[in-house]
Structure 1
Amino acid sequence: MQQKNQGPVHIAAIGLGWWGRKIVAALDGEEATVKVVCGVDPDPSAAVFCEGRFPMLESYEAALARDDVEAVVLATPHALHEKQIELAVDAGKHVFCEKPLAMTKKGAERAVRLCRDAGLVLGMGHERRFEPPVADMLVAAQEGRLGRIVQVEANFSHDKFLSLAASNWRLNAEQAPAAGMTATGIHLTDLAVRLMGPARDVRVACENLASEFPQGDTLSAHIRFENGGTAYVSASLATPFVSRFAVFGTKGWMDIRDKAHVESPSGWVVTSSSAGQAITVSEVGPAEPVRDNLVAFARAIRGQSYAITGEEMIDNIALLEAIIRAARTGQVETVA
């Protein structure tokens, strides 16, 4: 498909539930860079949401057929992603996919390969990378200011799903297995893989302690990496919101805590120290990482680089696949 060389990237919002509507709202005021031109969702309430914003189409295929759609943003159930990405590539559309990209390493490899071979940009809904203190942490690690990274400790939990109807796909053990892993924990493993490289193996405890969720409500994973080092990641669907990501290196460490869920971000508290220096505590003001990730995706379509590589996407899904397997077996599982 012939691409525009300038102007805003026109996108179709596919899936306008809780998170799809958050994405649309986050893009308000960004029309100079990225503009939503249509939406698709089977829920009649989505048409009310779209009214006055953009037209609501009857199907995904109808969105793909529009000449003014350059890219699709998939905020859809996990099991649909692989086929939807294939259809988008066939139509010559760039793809921004909410996490997880796929449920297996094989599926992730195919999605990355399809987009790459077609010369299309593949973006991922890992907005944690675009939180200002997290972005600073990643730069500090890349530049060697933290020294050799030896360990990660992280928790991302909330109780937002306790009010969902039992029929909601997010509470389907096949669609969203391993407690909060596909909802929240996958963001933490994305950052851990970015910092420490491909994982080697993982052991998981997944329990149902405070709900009737069929996939369990509380998970912890202990991960070892091919290049050495470990990560401890936890994700619960039964506690009030908490989000913490801490990285420890031989020259310094950083501990980043969100003040509120990324749905309505209100800033971060950062505790850190370098070798021989006192521990410091600072606050970072509010930002909108969901918007910033989508803007970065649009800019990548216009020729700039995108922060998340295809190899990192694949490595993260390989780890997710092993975590899901380990949650069922209770054994140490090798990452493919």
Structure 2
Amino acid sequence: MGLGGYAERVAEAMQQCERAKVAGLISGTPEKLVKWGQKYNIPESSRYNYDNFDAIKDNPDIDAIYVITPNALHHDQVIRSARAGKHVICEKPLAISAKEGQEMLDACNNAGVKLLVGYRMRFEPNTLEVVRLRNAGAFGRLKFFQGQCGFVAGDPKQWRLNKALAGGGSLMDIGIYAINGARYMLGEDPVWVSAQETKTDPVKFKEGVDETIQFELGFPSGAVASCLSSYNISHLDRFFLTGEKGFAEMWPSTGYGPIKGRTHQGDLGKPHTVHQRTQMDEMAAIIFDNNTPTLPVDGLTALQDLQIIEAIYRSCASGKREPIKLS
């Protein structure tokens, strides 16, 4: 659902999948439905628009709907997909508020369908190797995580810089990787945040669209995280984790790859995989086999990220350390 640039990347990657295939299309652009339909051999009976896609409930060829549309549209589209009896994969962020996210989670639970989120890094081999080493005690007691995520946002008219469609700015889009990384690299959830926003271009980054946010997270163990999210700084794609016995560094850490990483023991050396291909096969295993992934990609995990995001925004507004309460 939503045949934009990232959907194209996913669809291309899925041509190499073993357990997932493109079986239907949803778009508001008729020309795209024709072009994509011909390219991926999708019959007209499995091509829908945003007005009639509820009829997908009667299409047995489709098991799940992958929602890849602007953030503000996720809420209604995920709920409609759930009511059509289809499993749902939603791009991050899950929604533009925790309230919306909870409603989406409830709708999927009530419909008896799974809600998954496109957290592709949670299937990435180097990332999972760091998690394995952490669990094995290779780094000892963890002390500190640093996450740097950012790029220079181009076209000022793009939907990502539109508060009504994006729900925010860099934090919702790129900063969520640092939030996610802090959680899965440290292996625990934060309990407080202190954050500051910096805005140098209020014309491009209008009210409610954050340009750059620095935030610190505190964790129950005493570990802390220092993170940076920006739409106006290039070459930010780095994770660093350190403990009493060693460290792990990933740079690049969240891009499309290849991801590179090393620890105090040397290079991680895991092979590059096409993230979207791995994600879709792994999600097929979750849907069909009730497989439990090493790192969760479910709706609750995504809802918690939204709750952390809202606490970060509260801290920016209040100038104070804010508590984080997760579902």
Could you state the TM-score of these two structures normalised by the residue count of structure 1?
0.83
1:332 counterpart letter in structure 2: R
Q: 1:181 aligns with which of 163, 171, 191?
A: 171
Match of 1:204 among 187, 195, 199: 195
Q: C-alpha displacement at 1:136, in angstroms?
A: 0.7
CA deviations on 1:207-253 (whole Å, 9 max, x unpaired) are 22257122132221111124432111112112334311111222321
> Hey, which of these two has a bigger chunk of helix by percent?
2
CA distance in 2, matches of 1:319, 1:124: 16
Show the counterpart of 2:222: 228
Aligned length: 311
C-alpha displacement at 1:177, in angstroms? Answer: 4.8
Q: For structure 1, which segment, 71-80 or 118-127, has the greater mean C-alpha deviation from structure 2 after superposition?
A: 118-127
Q: Is the 8 A contact 1:246 1:253 kept in 2?
A: yes
Partner Cα distance (2:277, 2:317) in 1: 36
Give the Å deviation of 1:296: 0.9
Report the counterpart of residue 64 of structure 2 in structure 1.
Answer: 71
Give 1:108-127 correspondences, 5 Å limit: 108-127=101-120
Q: Is the 8 A contact 2:55 2:84 kept in 1?
A: no
SS of match in other structure, 2:191? strand
Amino acid at match of 2:93: P
User: Residue in 2 aligned with 1:327?
Assistant: 316
Q: Does 1:172 align with 2:158?
A: no
Once the two structures are superposed, residues 295-330 of structure 1 have per-residue CA deviations (whole angstroms, 9 ceiling, x without a partner) of 111111111224315543332221012123333444
Cα separation, partners in 2 of 1:143 and 1:107, compared to 1, 3 Å = farther
Task: Tell me whether 1:298 sits opposite 2:292 in the alignment.
Answer: no
Give unpaired runs (5+ residues) of structure 1. 1-13, 275-279
Q: 2:103 & 2:168 partners in 1: Cα distance?
A: 23
The one-letter code matched in structure 1 to 2:292 is: S
Aligned to 2:21, the other structure's residue is in SS state strand
Q: Within 1, Cα distance between the matches of 2:251 and 2:180? A: 17
Counterparts of 1:151-162 in structure 2 under 5 Å? 151-159=144-152, 161-162=153-154
Give the alignment of 1:88-99 within 5 angstroms.
Answer: 88-99=81-92
* In 2, Cα distance between equivalents of 1:94 and 1:112: 12
Aligned 8 A contact 1:23 1:290 in 2: yes
TM-superposed deviation, 1:169: 2.0
Report the Cα distance in structure 2 between the residues aligned to 1:52 and 1:122, rounded to whole angstroms. 28
The reply to whether residue 52 of structure 1 matches residue 39 of structure 2 is: yes
Secondary structure of the structure 2 residue equivalent to 1:136: helix
Aligned equivalent of 2:7: 20
Shift of 1:134: 0.7
In percent, how many aligned pairs have the same letter? Answer: 23
Q: Write the distance in 2 (CA, Å) between the matches of 1:259 and 1:82.
A: 29
2:255 alignment counterpart: 261
Change in CA separation of 1:179 and 1:87 when aligned onto 2, cut-off 3 Å: closer
2:302 pairs with 309, 313, 316, which one?
313
Q: 1:238 aligns with which of 232, 236, 253?
A: 232
In the TM superposition, what is the alpha-carbon distance from 1:44 to its structure 2 partner?
Answer: 5.0
Q: 1:282 to 1:293 in 2, by over 3 A?
A: closer
Partner of 2:60: helix, strand, or coil? coil
Distance 1:226 1:177, change over 3 A: farther
Name whichever structure is richer in strand by fraction.
1
Give the alignment's TM-score, normalised by structure 2: 0.85
Amino acid at match of 1:35: K
C-alpha displacement of 1:117? 4.8
Distance 2:215 2:24 in 1: 39
Change (3 A) 1:143 1:284: closer
* 8 Å Cα contact 2:13-2:277 kept in structure 1: yes
Distance 2:167 2:198 in 1: 12
Q: Hey, what's the Cα distance between the residues in 2 that align with 1:170 and 1:45?
A: 23
**Separation (CA, whole Å) in 1 of partners of 2:16 and 2:304:** 34
Distance change >3 Å, CA 259–CA 135, structure 1 → 2: closer
Distance in 2, Cα, partners of 1:135 & 1:259: 12
| Partner in structure 2 of residue 287 of structure 1 | 273
68-77 or 314-323, which deviates more: 314-323
